[in-house]
Structure 1
């Protein structure tokens, strides 16, 4: 199920190049064939698709084949070219075909047991994978300082990035201070309006007289202006 979900996510990206790291080995034969025919061969026929796989039954549909052995390229070409030029590739195909033929000729009971064991192993592997995935999530910690430095260097250069960062923090503090000051002024307006201020300074008396001289309409307009500006 996880392999099919990952394949679906990749297809919905709708990119030009797809790198598929053996997505067919995690599903059974029928699902593997369906994914290859409908997704890779049909849906991605106009895309660049690099498929890593051990399932040679799909090689004949590939436009270019690269055979790796211990991380090194040993053969390269089309399916027909490799059959004609490489005896080892032909022998490999024949051996695998013989092995598949023997497996198909086994007893039904043995096949069912084999499928059960394979299913149990896949369930165990999936649990281990999910467990390791959870452990990776839990292992995530704080981001190191050098990561932020690399972000700044990649974004706008280290010097300019530091200047922008300091400017953003300074602007944030300035806005925070201005909001507090504006709320304090707004609150004082109401005190002045209600004549609840004692021991006022000259500036306070001037502001109190200005506010108390407002009529109801002017006071409502003043309050709305304070609110909208905030």
Structure 2
């Protein structure tokens, strides 16, 4: 019983019983947070159904409360995968009051709109979302408060010219806080705390003296207060508007000339992402070294690598000398014993055997003493090697981490201080790519590669020095191999760099597409555009 009670209280919608006949206009109202938007999402199947059933006969168009706009032209946002039909398109644009906006935009409906409609106002985004739903010519229209972000005059135009005229023969479910339009609806549903508390026509609900009547009275009271405030502001602004009327015509001409001079007048908003061509410049290496702490810090790290790797070479060299010395002494000891055994047997045999045993014992003791000395040097050198390797890892890791942190902080500082036009021209996916994959490479890939490079380079250099000292003739082969490796490096560097840069450039649109699709998933599903977005 308790479990059932807790489950009931956690539900967003409860006891919903709604039946909408074809061609009727339904209004849904209620207080903020009562479940109006959740009801529309349930109708498009975006909420889990725990009990009961949901049946919809016909295609559905959905206009979300928070208008979803993707990166593309305004026309592409309206068409949303549908074919372009000029007559119907013009009617929809006029009914959704987008004609004045098209005259303002740089290239009309072919103007590029940024991700999430970054270069549109809230009212413009809401009207584009409404136009998308209307243009689709669906059987059922679910409109989630499309009049909230527009002023009174535009709201009247949208309702009477679009919803009440263009969609008069369609099934419309309208969620709104503009209660003055509910009297034009065939039926009104009132929600409170996730339940339908009243439903019926506007006149019938007013006679019941219930939730709906209270909402209407509160709405008219707020409208009266807003009207008084508007009257005062109109008196204050009257002188200002008189002065501005004289200068508006002059400023219009100047504004048009300004728009023509700017690049984004042609409707192109997003800059094309480019990559560097050729090898990595020395400035890039210098920038990384500066962020790591400067040239002195880099030299100290390099010196630490040289000492650590030299310690490794010393340990190996000392171990080789130790083994060689022991083998020589053992061979000498065996040879002396064998030479002593070739004497003939005589009275002095016992004395000779005793001397041989003594010499053997002395040789073994001397060998043991030298082995202990070699062992002591090897143990201390090994301990020193371990300390140097740990110190090298801590110092080099700290320096490279410092470089990564400084590069990240500098990038964040520049982005945070960038003008708004920068964010208009660069979609969010591009910024996410810079601060995710690129930062990951600076944090992980570059330190690992640098560590391997320094270790291998110093070991090769030490080997070359040893070879030049012991067997100089082998340097001829070394020079030939080095020349061959250099040719391979020159041939392979350019395509590898190009592929890496191409990968970084291609990833940005993918991230933008995924983030945009996730934010507009409800709209995409309601319009059955899943395949188009997955194959985009």
Higher relative contact order (CA 8 A, sep 6+): 2
TM-score (normalizing by structure 2): 0.21
